[in-house]
């Protein structure tokens, strides 16, 4: 047992001895390492940024506070918050000067509300995003903390570098000027000691150079930790959020698949299956009567033919519920135009998409069913006089919006139609938002990510 412990101690000692040369080599090479000079430059730049940002923030907040009684100050305070947000963006970039590892910015509430929203609703959305967003206030706190940190970092870095430079350059100047200048500069010190003091100062200056370089990198490393804590999302938290989002998307996809299978089974059992059973019975009776009562058999065959037509019609309806033919053949714009034209409430379609442009099939189906279900709800429950469907394609997403002037009060209730739409949208990593205050208007907004389609090579 003691031998094992002794071996472990020896391994630990050897590991420590093996690590010391690496640390010493890094320390000695720090003056010629570009990362040290980038860290020094970042500290000097940080002092300028801190001075400008605290001045701008103080001006905005003091002006806003003095004018708050006339409500004009709200705009100045909001401007100060946005200044802090801009400073946070600059600071995340500054941290990459010394350490190129990327930083994940924390998310902000979007300032833009729903397009075509009333002025009051837009103003409320803006105010909530500006003043109730915790991450924006974290940016403000960071600007307040930045100034003393930047002053401390600037002071330590400048003192170390200036002292090192003075100790290196001073003896060289004394040697160049000559011994006569030693007495005014170093009063009370014999001339014989001046060379020794010069050499000592030169040695200390040489030692201070790696100290200053390492201190600059260390200060930037500590400052990066502050930035990561206040202005960023940690990689672990971001990974956890991605896992939660993927788990929700998977659950939504499974629930959607199960509900679709139940719907298809119910429609087949209650409709088509019953008609096929009646068809088989009529054909059996016609077969029994074809010789004894040809007229009755003829009527049974005619009835069976009608049953077959109705069964085919129900199958077509079932297929259209799974993937509408017009959507498959002509695309999303034509399909939405068809359902908008067939809605009992006058509905207009506003889109900038070309009529024949095709999107990923899953996105087209989701957008189609969102509009179809929303228009069905408008016709049944909203008491609206007009409705508008907006379709817009952004660089990485498709935005679909259905707006009516009805009585409002729509909610995403478990088991309801909007809950089914939410599951369908979440299965594609999309977002569904419903705004329906009492008295209207009701706005259903869906954002679907557009994934590039894979093409065969």
pLDDT score of 192: 56
pLDDT score of 136: 93
Please state, in angstroms and rounded to a whole number, the distance separating the CA atoms of residues 208 and 203.
9
pLDDT tens, 351-382? 888 777 788 888 888 888 888 888 888 888 88
Mean pLDDT of 193-206: 72
Q: Residue 173 — pLDDT band, cuts 50, 70, 90?
A: low
342-361 exposure pattern, b = at least 16 Cβ within 10 A, e = fewer:
ebebebebebebeeeeebbe
Most confident of 17-26, 33-42, 373-382: 33-42
Per-residue pLDDT at 139 exceeds 90: yes
Mean pLDDT of 262-290: 72
- Dihedrals phi, psi of 451, to nearest 5 degrees: -90, 135
Q: Residue 123 — pLDDT band, cuts 50, 70, 90?
A: confident
Q: How far is CA 154 from the centre of its chain?
A: 34
Rounded to the nearest 10 degrees, how much is the dihedral formed by the CA atoms of 419, 424, 429, 430?
A: -70
Most confident of 79-88, 305-314, 336-345: 79-88
Q: Residue 194 — pLDDT band, cuts 50, 70, 90?
A: low
Reported as type and span, the H/E element at residue 143 is: helix 134-177
Per-residue pLDDT at 80 exceeds 90: yes
Q: Is 434 helix (H, G, I), strand (E, B) or coil?
A: strand
Per-residue pLDDT at 235 exceeds 50: yes
pLDDT score of 271: 66
The Cβ of residue 331 has, within 10 Å, a number of other Cβ atoms equal to 18
Contact at 8 Å (CB) between 421 and 260?
A: no
Going from N- to C-terminal start, the domains of the chain cover: 2-32, 34-231, 250-322, 329-449
Per-residue pLDDT at 8 exceeds 50: no
Per-residue pLDDT at 118 exceeds 70: no
More confident residue, 7 or 432: 432
The whole-chain average pLDDT of the chain stands at 78
As a CATH number, domain 329-449 is: 3.30.565.10
Please state, in angstroms and rounded to a whole number, the distance separating the CA atoms of residues 231 and 226.
8
Q: Residue 189 — pLDDT band, cuts 50, 70, 90?
A: low
Q: 52-61 — which CB contacts under 8 Å span 24+ positions?
A: 53/83, 53/84, 53/87, 53/143, 53/146, 53/147, 54/143, 54/144, 54/146, 54/147, 56/80, 56/83, 57/83, 57/84, 57/140, 57/143, 57/144
Matching CATH topology for 250-322 and 329-449? no
Angle at 449 between CA 446 and CA 455, to 5 degrees: 140
Per-residue pLDDT at 114 exceeds 50: no
More confident residue, 293 or 211: 211
Angle at 271 between CA 419 and CA 265, to 5 degrees: 50
Cα atoms found within 13 Å of the Cα of residue 145, Cβ hemisphere only: 14
pLDDT score of 361: 82
pLDDT score of 10: 40
Contact at 8 Å (CB) between 220 and 213?
A: no
The answer regarding whether domain 250-322 maps to CATH 1.20.5 reads yes
Per-residue pLDDT at 457 exceeds 60: no
Global pTM value = 0.58
| Burial degree of 262 (CB within 10 A; 0-12, 13-18, 19+) | exposed
More confident residue, 57 or 18: 57
Please state, in angstroms and rounded to a whole number, the distance separating the CA atoms of residues 195 and 201.
10
């Amino acid at each position: 047992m003691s031998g094992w412990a002794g071996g472990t101690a020896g391994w630990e000692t050897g590991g420590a001895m093996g690590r010391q040369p690496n640390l010493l080599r890094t320390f000695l090479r720090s003056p010629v390492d570009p990362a040290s000079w980038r860290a020094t430059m970042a500290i000097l730049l940080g002092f300028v940024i801190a001075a400008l940002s605290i001045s701008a923030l103080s001006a905005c907040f003091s002006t806003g506070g003095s004018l708050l009684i006339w409500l004009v100050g709200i705009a100045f305070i909001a401007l100060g918050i946005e200044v802090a947000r801009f400073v946070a963006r600059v600071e995340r970039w500054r941290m990459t000067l010394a350490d190129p590892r990327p930083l994940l910015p924390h998310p902000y509430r979007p300032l833009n509300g729903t397009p075509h929203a009333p002025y009051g609703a837009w103003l409320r959305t803006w105010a909530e995003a500006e003043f109730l967003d915790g991450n924006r206030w974290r940016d403000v706190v960071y600007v307040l903390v930045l100034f003393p940190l930047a002053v401390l970092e600037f002071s330590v870095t400048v003192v170390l570098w200036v002292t090192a430079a003075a100790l290196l350059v001073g003896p060289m100047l004394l040697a160049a000027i000559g011994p006569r200048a030693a007495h005014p500069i170093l009063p009370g010190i014999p001339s014989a000691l001046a060379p020794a003091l010069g050499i000592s100062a030169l040695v200390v200056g040489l030692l201070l150079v790696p100290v200053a370089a390492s201190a600059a990198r260390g200060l930037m490393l500590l400052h990066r930790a502050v930035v990561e804590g206040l202005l960023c999302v940690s990689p672990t938290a971001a990974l956890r959020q991605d896992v939660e989002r993927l788990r929700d998307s998977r659950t939504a996809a499974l629930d959607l698949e199960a509900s679709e299978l139940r719907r298809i089974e119910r429609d087949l059992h209650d409709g088509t299956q019953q008609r096929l059973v009646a068809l088989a019975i009529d054909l059996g009776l016609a077969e029994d009567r074809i010789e004894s009562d040809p007229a009755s058999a003829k009527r049974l065959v005619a009835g069976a033919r009608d049953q077959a037509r109705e069964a085919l019609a129900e199958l077509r309806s079932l297929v259209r519920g799974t993937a509408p033919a017009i959507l498959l053949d002509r695309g999303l714009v034509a399909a939405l135009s068809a359902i908008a034209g067939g809605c009992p409430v006058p509905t207009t379609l506003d889109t900038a998409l070309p009529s024949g442009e095709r999107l990923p099939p899953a996105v087209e189906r989701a957008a189609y069913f969102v509009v179809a279900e929303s228009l069905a709800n408008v016709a049944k429950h909203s008491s609206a006089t007009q409705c508008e469907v907006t379709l817009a394609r952004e660089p990485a997403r498709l935005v679909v919006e259905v707006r009516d002037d009805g009585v409002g009060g729509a909610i995403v209730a478990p088991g309801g139609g909007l809950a089914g739409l939410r599951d369908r949208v979440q299965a594609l990593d999309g977002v569904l938002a419903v705004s329906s205050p009492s008295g209207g208007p009701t706005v259903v907004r869906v954002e679907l990510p557009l994934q590039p389609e894979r093409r065969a090579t």
